[in-house]
Amino acid sequence: MTAKFIVIEGLEGAGKSTAISICQQFLTQHNVDFVNVREPGGTPLAEQLRDLVKANHQEQIASETELLIMYAARAQLVNNVIRPALNNGQWVLGDRHDLSSQAYQGGGREIEQTTLKALSDIVLKGLKPDLTIYLDIEPSIGLARAKGRGELDRIEQEALSFFERTRAQYLNLANNDDSIKTVNANQTMAQVHNDIITVLEQFMQSNN
């Protein structure tokens, strides 16, 4: 089987870390050689950009500035880690990818789709995850979970309406792309776990 690119997506508090752990165990059990990446971040420079975009600043960060930083970090990760790994036969397991920008900056920040597509085309050059597992959660529930983990970063401090727009865009995109599988993250941990395993098993079977 050729190397695959799997991504976990979702709002704050949706349980991405747990989902990634489930995927790691699943791939290991199937003897799949994989690398883990996260966005923004995943390379030394991209991690610095992550710190920059998540920190609180005295001046207002323009939506376009946030968007460009996200894509700058993504360009570093795609060119220096993701493509080389896939070309080397390694699978890639990602904590967020381009769908996050489509949802957060496109939905939450209401940036034009034409702008997002132009940047996406420049940076990705046709690269697309083979499977995206989107963990769908009520924004109020997710934010309450995130607050329980500790101090919120700049983006996590946005108003509830921002996350509601982001979620709506996630759902819109997921409903129009067969490679994006939606898992109800409002369920119990055991139910979410089972749903993720089901998605992964179906994915493996369809690619054998």
Q: Burial of 204 by CB count in 10 Å (0-12 exposed, 13-18 middle, 19+ buried)?
A: middle
Please say if the pLDDT value at position 96 is more than 90: yes
Q: What is the biggest distance separating any 2 CA atoms in the chain, rounded to whole angstroms? A: 52
- In sequence order, the β-bridge partners of residue 95 are 8, 38
Contact criterion met (CB below 8 Å) for 33 and 91: yes
Please say if the pLDDT value at position 87 is more than 90: yes
Taking residues 56-76, what's their average pLDDT?
Answer: 96
- The candidate with the shortest Cα–Cα distance to 131, out of 88, 186, 188, 183, is 183
d(CA 203, CA 168): 25
Please say if the pLDDT value at position 126 is more than 90: yes
- In sequence order, the β-bridge partners of residue 180 are 132
Taking residues 38-53, what's their average pLDDT?
Answer: 97
Q: Which residues contact 195 (CB under 8 A, 6 or more apart)?
A: 183, 184, 187
Q: Burial of 175 by CB count in 10 Å (0-12 exposed, 13-18 middle, 19+ buried)?
A: exposed
Please say if the pLDDT value at position 147 is more than 90: no
pLDDT band at 151 (very low <50, low <70, confident <90, very high): confident
- Quick: pLDDT tens for 159-183: 999 999 999 999 999 999 999 999 9
Taking residues 14-39, what's their average pLDDT?
Answer: 97
Structural domains in the chain, sorted by start: 5-206 (3.40.50.300)
Looking at residue 28, its pLDDT comes to: 98
Contact criterion met (CB below 8 Å) for 6 and 91: yes
